[in-house]
Every structure is written in structure tokens, then in C-alpha cells.
Amino acid sequence: MPNDEIDINLPNVPDKPDIVAEDISIPILFEDDYLIIVEKPAGMVTHPAYKNHTATLVNALLFHIAKTASNLSAINGIERAGIVHRLDKNTSGILVVAKDEDTHRKLSKLFSVHNIEREYAAVCWGHFNKKKGTIEKPLGRSQKDRKKVIVREDGKLAITNYEVVKEYEFLSLVKLNLKTGRTHQIRVHMHSIGHPVFGDPDYEGRKPHGVPLTNKNKEKIKQLLELLPRQALHARVLGFTHPITGEKLHFESDLPEDIKRVIECVESGV
């Protein structure tokens, strides 16, 4: 009503913790005055966020650039300093980081028009009927669990090309190329065609698919999953034209040791 007094009590919102530089070793594949190519290990969050304010790639990068007296792009704030694109916490592989805003904008443009070569390697459950193909399914957040992504008709366009590189007893090594860059894209797409990424805790990758569940196989699967507590997914290749110098850049990364161990075990029959 007119002239009524309304009291509003706002809860105290805690300040965001400072993002500090941390002496964390990260493999650097290339660096110049404009950008850095790094190899993110599995288990490392790309940038600080809710419940993850330390030990991220950004924390490590801040320490690195302090030593080299350079900078990181501030387009997205200190929490995402230099970050042009990201990888899931438990996905390993190659990332490009921008040192200045101009480079950042131009790299983002390359990603937006899909003028970036990105290849992933994944170990997936089962054998594929089609050894090569394209998955084109729209993706969006699950309404039941906002942390997860699902195939949904009203989602955003997502396109993944895949090719089977090698088949094992009940797993396949697969090469994947992204035509779009949606959250969890490869993991959701592979799950949607019945071949989840091996070890993936969120998209049924820790459940057998396409394998007879004999006692022998059950024991073997248990041993393999113990070797790999994460999804067997690695960003193996990154290539693009340097947005400032015009140089053609191409980087490749070997499979990490944990994924190699799984492959060695299935190859040897252990």
C-alpha cells in the first residue's frame, strides 16, 4: 500500500577468494609474446570456480607469467585469465592460452567459425558397427541434473566426427574431431550411440557396454577401471593459424600414462 515501509534483509554474500599464483608445474609446448600452448593434466580444473579456487590451470599460469614478466588476457577477468577454451577437469590434453586481449579475441573468432583443428583420442566401450561416422545431435543441460548435459531437441547444434583407430577385446580406440565445442560434447555423443567413453563417471562409462559379462570379464573390467578413475579422453591435437604472426601452428600430445596402461592391459590380455 502507499507509504508502507518495507524492510529487506539481504544475506551476507562472502567475497570471492583471491586468485593466487601457485607454483604448479605444467607442460608448455609453445610460447611467444602472444599465446601459450599448454598440456593440461587430468584432474586439474581449467579455471577457478565454485569449490575450486586453487590448484587450477589459471593458478599455475599466473605463477608462470610472473616468472617471465608477461601477462595474461583479462577479457574474462582474473578467474579466467587467458582462458580461450577449456577442458573438463578429468579430460587431459592441449589448450591455447592468450596473453593479451587482441590475441584472445582473434583466437575466440577462430573457435567460433570452427577454423581450429581439434582432435581427441578416446577409449570407448564396445565395437562400432560403423567404423567411421558423424554424430549430429543437439545438446543442452539436463533439467534433472544441471551438472549434466543430454541430447535434447531444443539444445544447441553439436557435431562430432569419429573414426575407430583400433579394436580390442571389448574396447575401441577412437579418433574424434569436433565441429562444435559444446560442454561434455564427446562424452554425451558417445554415450548417445551406445559407446560411452571408458571410465566416464557421469555418462555410464564405468558400466560395461557391449561385452559378455562372464566372471573372467567382470574381473578384467574391475582391474581396468581401477587403473583409470576418470574418463579415457585426451585432447591430442590442436592446430591453427597464429592470429598475429600468421604462422601455421600444429601440436600433438602423446596419450597420458593412465590411458596407455589401460590399452597395454587389454592388448596383453592381462
Give CB contacts under 8 A, 24+ apart, made by 51-59: 52/89, 53/16, 53/17, 53/19, 54/20, 54/22, 55/22, 55/24, 57/26, 57/83, 57/95, 58/19, 58/82, 58/83, 59/19, 59/20, 59/21, 59/22, 59/24
Active site residues: 88
The separation between CA 164 and the C-alpha centre of its own chain, rounded to angstroms, equals 20
Beta carbons of 233 and 242 less than 8 angstroms apart:
no
Cα–Cα distance measured from residue 68 to residue 65, given in angstroms and rounded to the nearest whole number: 5
Name the residue among 84, 82, 76 with its Cα closest to residue 61: 82
For residues 226 and 182, give the distance between their C-alpha atoms in angstroms, rounded to a whole number.
29
Q: What φ, ψ does residue 131 adopt, rounded to 5°?
A: -75, -10
